[in-house]
Structure 1
Amino acid sequence: MNRLSATAFPAGTAEWPRYRPEEYRAGIVHLGLGNFARAHLLAYTDEVLATQGGDWRAIGVSLRGTAVAEALNPQDGRYTLIIRGQQTHARVIGALKHVIAGTHMARCALTAMARPTCRIVSITVTEKGYGITSEGHLDRAHAAIRADLARPEAPTGVIGLIVAALAHRRAMGVQPFTVLSCDNLSHNGQKLQRAVLEFATEAHGEDVAGWIRQQVRFPSTMVDRITPASTAETLATAATLTGHEDLAAVETEPFRQWVIEDDFSAGRPAWELAGALFVRDVGPYEHMKLRMLNGAHSMLAYSGQLSGKAYVRDVMADPAHASLVRRHLKAAAATVRGLAIDLDAYATALAERFANPSIAHATAQIAMDGTQKLPQRITAPALEALEAGTPVRPFAFALASWAAYLARRDARGAPIRVDDPRADALFAAVSGGTDAATLLPAIAAACPDILPDALRAGAFGAMLEELLDAILREGMMAVLAREAALGGE
C-alpha cells in the first residue's frame, strides 16, 4: 500500500481536498502540532481553503520530539481526519504545509515566524506548556522560561519563541502577527499577553515590550472537540478509508466548537465559513466549557481511574457513575452566567458525547496535569457555588477523587508518581500518610490554588474529608453507588 502524500491518487471513501493545497502559501505557524490541532484548527482552515482559498496554510512546529514530523513530512503534510459518530467517515486534510522539528527546531521556527507571510502564530501546547502561573503571570520556575530568560536570543519555549520572533519583526519593520492560544486556559489571550509582556520586558527591555503592548493582538478563544490519542486501529481505519498508508491519522468526534474574540493584527482566515463563532467577549463561553465539559471530564477521569474504567465511554456505561456526571454538569451549569444558551440542553448533549461508543477517550489521558487544570475547572466554580449557596457536593466529590488518585499506592505500599508538572511536590505531599486527615492538609500546602482555605474550612472542608475518607476506606465503587443514591445534591 502506497503512503499518503500530495501525489497520492484519491481512493477509498474518504473526502479528499477540494482545492490544490500547494497553490497556497503558509500564513499560520502553529506551535505544538498534536492531535487536537489537527482535528480542530487545521480542519477549520482546510474547509476555508476549500471554500475561498487564500494563503492560510500552516507550518507546524513540534516543540518536543520528532515523531510528528517524521510521520507528516514524508506525507507532504497530508493526514486523515477520521470522524467517529453513528457512522464513521474521513477527510484528507491539506491545510498543513510541513512540520519543523529536531535539532534546528528553534532556529527554523524563528525563521518561519519572522517571515512577513506569517500572520498568525497559533498554539496548542496544553496548559503546562506555556510557563504561566494559575494567576496568569510568567512562571519563572518553569524550565523553558528559566532557560529562555537566560538565553533570550536562542529560545526553545513557547513564550521565548514568540517574543524573539516579534522582536525580530519589530527590528525589521515588519507588521506583527496575531498570537492565538487554542488551549484550555481561562482568558487564554489575556494571560498569554501578560506573560509575553513580562518576558519581553525582562529579556528585551521596555522598547520591545511597549511595541508588543501597542501592536500585537492576543485574542482569547474557546475550543471544543474531543480528540483521543491515535492507536493502531486509527491507522488501520485510515488505510481502509483512503486506500493509502497514513502514519499521522487522527480520530475525533462529529461535534466541534470554536469561539474566538475577533481581534487580529494582520487578518485571519474566514473561519466563520466553517462554523467558528466570532464574538467580543469569549469569557462566558470559556466558563461554560471549562466548568461543564472539562470539569466533568476531570471528575470522571479520576473517579474512573479509581474504579477501573479505562475510557470515558466506560464511565457513561455505568448508570451510577453516569448519574454523577450529570449531577456535576448541573452543579457546574449553576455557576455559568451571561449566555443566552440552554445549559440543560448543553449538559444533555455533553453526556451524549461522553457516551459515544466509537470514541476511546482514555481517562488516564484526561487525568494528566491535574494541577494545571483543576483551578479553573473545579476550584473556581466551587468557590462561586459556595458563595451563591448552590450545590457544592459534586465539586467536593471531584476534589476528593483527585486527592485519592494522588494517594494511590503500588504493591509495595509506595505512592505512585502522577504525570503532572508538580509531580515531585504531590509525591512528597502524599508520602506522609494514608488517611484523609493527613493527606488533605499536605496536598493543600502543595497546591493552595486548588485547595484554598475556603475549601478546607467549614462544611465544604468537612464534606471533602468525609468523601476522601470513604474513597480510601471503602473503594470508589462503593462511594459511587452511595453518591448516586443521593440524587442531584
Structure 2
Amino acid sequence: MTTATTSVVRLSRAALAERSGSAVVTAPPRIVHLGLGAFHRAHQAWYTAHATDAADWGIAAFTGRSPKAAEELAPQDGLYTLIERSAEGDTAEIVTSVVEVNDGADIGRLVELLIEPTTAVVTLTITEPAYRLRADGQPNLDDPDVAHDIESISSPASGAPRPSTVLGRLIVALDARRRAGVGGIAIVPCDNIPDNGELVRVGLTGLARLISSVLAAWIEQNVSFVTTSIDRITPRTTDADRETAAALTGFADAAPVVTEPFKDWVLSGDFPAGRPAWESAGATFVDDIEPFERRKLWLLNGAHSLLAYAGLLRGHTTVAEAMNDSECRGWVRELWDADARNLPAAELQLDDYRTALEDRFDNARIAHQLAQIAMEGSTKLRVRIAPVLLAERAAGRDVPSGVRAIASWIALTLDGTEITDAQQDAIASAAASDEPVRRLVDLIEPELARDADVLADIGALVSTLRA
C-alpha cells in the first residue's frame, strides 16, 4: 500500500476492512513469539504474512522487558505499518500476521497457548543477555532472577509459579504442554548468536534439569531447536515515521516499523508440529547453517561494530555517515578481506554479498544509529570480531581493522562514554584496574588477552585514539 489518503483513522482490523472493502483474515494463533519488538515485526512477522499459507498461521506475541509494545498494538488488533525505506523513497504496507499481543509477564496466557495442539512454533527475539546463560551455555545460577525462577518453579510458595526470565516462563509453559499430553513443538531463536538453536537447547534443558528430570527428558524427546541466521536492518521508529505511515496509508499507527528493502532468513532444523511455508516468502532452509551464520556475523555485524566504535570516535552518528568517511570505508573493506579468507567465498557468493552490504550501508535514508549498534559491545565483539582475529593470527597474519574495532570500544569505555552492556559491572572494574586494556580484552576473548602482540597493538591504538 503506497497511495496517500486524505482522511486518517486509527488503525484496526475493522477500519482496515472498511477501507479495503473486504474482510481482514485473522489467522489462528499457531506461532507464539517472545520478545515483541520492531525487528520481529520487520522480519519473522513479515515472512509469516507473506507465506502462501498465511491464513493458517497467526502470531500471538509477548513483550520482553517492557509491556509498551503490547499497550500500543492491542488497540490496533496487532496490526502495524511496515515502512520499507530505500534510497529512492518509502513504501508502506499493513502487516496482519500478529493476531494477539500480550504483556510478557502474562504466564497464564502463555500456558493457554502452549497447551493447544495447534500451537506449533515458538520464536524468540530477546537478545543474548536475556537468556541469562554462562559462557558454557548453562543457566547462570549467580543471576538472582535465575535463582528466583528455579525456586519459584520447583516449589512455588503459593499458587502458580511466577518466573521472571524468558527461559523460566518457557519452562513453565512447556511443562504445562507435557502434562496436557500435547505433542512436540519447535523453538526458533532469531537472535544474532552463533548456533542459536543449540545455545537455547543447552540453556533450556539445563534449566529444566535443575527443576524436573521428567520435564528435561520430555523436552529432549519432544522439542526441536531450530538454528537461524537473520538479517534486516530495523532502526528505531521516530515521530516523523509515524507521520509518514499516516500519509502513506491513511491510518494513525502508534507503532509503525521502518526497515530496509533487504531481508534474509536462513533456517536449519526440524518442525515436529509443522510450520508456515516461509520459503514461499524468500526464507532459505539448509542442512548446514554455519557458513551462512559466519557470513552474516562477520561481514554485516562485524562491520557494524567496527563502524559503531570507530565511527563514534570520529564524530559520526549513523552507519551511512560513517561509510561516507573514506577512512571508515577502508577499514570495513579491510575487515571484509580478512573475513573472506576464512569463509567459502564461492558457496556464499561473497563478492555479491559485499556489494549488497555497501549499498545497504550507503542508504542514508535508513538512520541506523551507531549508538544503538554499540550496545552490548563485550558480547558482540566476542562473536563478530574475535573469531576472525584469532583465525588470522593463527595463520600468521595481522588484522588491523579487527584490532581497531576492539581498541575503539576500549577507548570509548575508558573515556567514560555511556554504552549499555550487561557486563557493565565487570567492565567498570576492568576499566578501573591497573591493566585496563588487558582486563577489557579478556572480557571479550581471553585467548586474545594472552596474545602479547595483539595486546600490544590494541594498547598502542587505544593510546593513540584517546590522545
In structure 2, do the counterparts of structure 1 residues 338 and 173 end up closer, same or farther at CA, with 3 Å as the change threshold?
farther
Match of 2:99 among 93, 97, 100: 97
Per the TM alignment, residue 432 of structure 1 is displaced from its structure 2 partner at its CA by 4.0
Match of 2:172 among 150, 164, 175: 164
Give structure 2 stretches of 5+ with no counterpart. Answer: 1-7, 154-160
Per the TM alignment, residue 175 of structure 1 is displaced from its structure 2 partner at its CA by 0.9
Which residue in the other structure is 1:369 paired with?
376
Say whether residues 1:194 and 2:202 are aligned partners. yes
Equivalent pair of 2:224/2:269 in contact (CA under 8 Å)? no
Per the TM alignment, residue 464 of structure 1 is displaced from its structure 2 partner at its CA by 1.3
Which residue in the other structure is 2:33 paired with?
30
Say whether residues 1:387 and 2:394 are aligned partners. yes
Which residue in the other structure is 1:481 paired with?
none
Say whether residues 1:471 and 2:465 are aligned partners. yes
Per the TM alignment, residue 9 of structure 1 is displaced from its structure 2 partner at its CA by 4.1
Say whether residues 1:458 and 2:414 are aligned partners. no
CA–CA separation in structure 2 for the residues paired with 1:37 and 1:472:
38
Displacement over 3 Å in runs of 4+: 9-12, 16-20, 453-456
In structure 2, do the counterparts of structure 1 residues 273 and 226 end up closer, same or farther at CA, with 3 Å as the change threshold?
same
Which residue in the other structure is 1:20 paired with?
24
Say whether residues 1:234 and 2:237 are aligned partners. no
CA–CA separation in structure 1 for the residues paired with 2:73 and 2:286:
34
Equivalent pair of 1:284/1:338 in contact (CA under 8 Å)? no
Per the TM alignment, residue 328 of structure 1 is displaced from its structure 2 partner at its CA by 1.4
Match of 1:341 among 348, 371, 374: 348
- Select between 344-353 and 264-273 the one with higher mean Cα deviation: 344-353
Deviations 1:128-155 (A, max 9, x none): 1111234433222334423211212322
Q: Secondary structure at the match of 1:287?
A: helix
Which residue in the other structure is 2:329 paired with?
322
In structure 2, do the counterparts of structure 1 residues 95 and 189 end up closer, same or farther at CA, with 3 Å as the change threshold?
same
In structure 2, do the counterparts of structure 1 residues 39 and 439 end up closer, same or farther at CA, with 3 Å as the change threshold?
same
Equivalent pair of 1:417/1:427 in contact (CA under 8 Å)? no
Amino acid at match of 1:43: W
In structure 2, do the counterparts of structure 1 residues 277 and 130 end up closer, same or farther at CA, with 3 Å as the change threshold?
same
Amino acid at match of 2:96: G
CA–CA separation in structure 2 for the residues paired with 1:264 and 1:462:
48
CA–CA separation in structure 2 for the residues paired with 1:319 and 1:238:
34
- Select between 123-132 and 186-195 the one with higher mean Cα deviation: 123-132
CA–CA separation in structure 2 for the residues paired with 1:154 and 1:290:
35
Which residue in the other structure is 1:118 paired with?
119
- Select between 89-98 and 457-466 the one with higher mean Cα deviation: 457-466
CA–CA separation in structure 2 for the residues paired with 1:252 and 1:176:
34
Q: Secondary structure at the match of 2:47?
A: helix
Q: How many residues align?
A: 452
Which residue in the other structure is 1:476 paired with?
none
Deviations 1:258-300 (A, max 9, x none): 0001411210000000000001111111111111111111111
Say whether residues 1:442 and 2:439 are aligned partners. yes
Equivalent pair of 2:229/2:266 in contact (CA under 8 Å)? yes
Which residue in the other structure is 1:270 paired with?
277
Amino acid at match of 2:451: A
Which residue in the other structure is 1:59 paired with?
60
Q: Secondary structure at the match of 1:151?
A: helix
Give structure 1 stretches of 5+ with no counterpart. Answer: 410-415, 474-489
Equivalent pair of 1:134/1:372 in contact (CA under 8 Å)? no
Per the TM alignment, residue 338 of structure 1 is displaced from its structure 2 partner at its CA by 7.9
Identity in percent: 37
CA–CA separation in structure 2 for the residues paired with 1:202 and 1:94:
39
CA–CA separation in structure 1 for the residues paired with 2:382 and 2:32:
30
Which residue in the other structure is 2:132 paired with?
131
CA–CA separation in structure 1 for the residues paired with 2:370 and 2:290:
27
Per the TM alignment, residue 69 of structure 1 is displaced from its structure 2 partner at its CA by 0.9
Equivalent pair of 2:54/2:97 in contact (CA under 8 Å)? no
In structure 2, do the counterparts of structure 1 residues 390 and 56 end up closer, same or farther at CA, with 3 Å as the change threshold?
farther
TM-score normalised per structure 1: 0.88
Per the TM alignment, residue 10 of structure 1 is displaced from its structure 2 partner at its CA by 6.9
Which residue in the other structure is 2:296 paired with?
289
- Select between 117-126 and 386-395 the one with higher mean Cα deviation: 386-395
Which residue in the other structure is 1:300 paired with?
307
Equivalent pair of 1:239/1:246 in contact (CA under 8 Å)? yes
Equivalent pair of 2:34/2:64 in contact (CA under 8 Å)? yes
Equivalent pair of 2:291/2:348 in contact (CA under 8 Å)? no
CA–CA separation in structure 2 for the residues paired with 1:357 and 1:60:
31
CA–CA separation in structure 2 for the residues paired with 1:405 and 1:17:
55
Say whether residues 1:223 and 2:230 are aligned partners. yes
Amino acid at match of 2:227: S
Equivalent pair of 1:106/1:156 in contact (CA under 8 Å)? no
Deviations 1:191-247 (A, max 9, x none): 10011111000012x221111112210010000000111111111110111111001
CA–CA separation in structure 2 for the residues paired with 1:330 and 1:162:
41
In structure 2, do the counterparts of structure 1 residues 257 and 351 end up closer, same or farther at CA, with 3 Å as the change threshold?
same
CA–CA separation in structure 1 for the residues paired with 2:124 and 2:216:
20
Q: Secondary structure at the match of 1:340?
A: helix
CA–CA separation in structure 2 for the residues paired with 1:305 and 1:350:
20
Deviations 1:92-127 (A, max 9, x none): 00000121117x522222322232221111000111
Q: Secondary structure at the match of 1:459?
A: helix
Q: Secondary structure at the match of 2:335?
A: helix
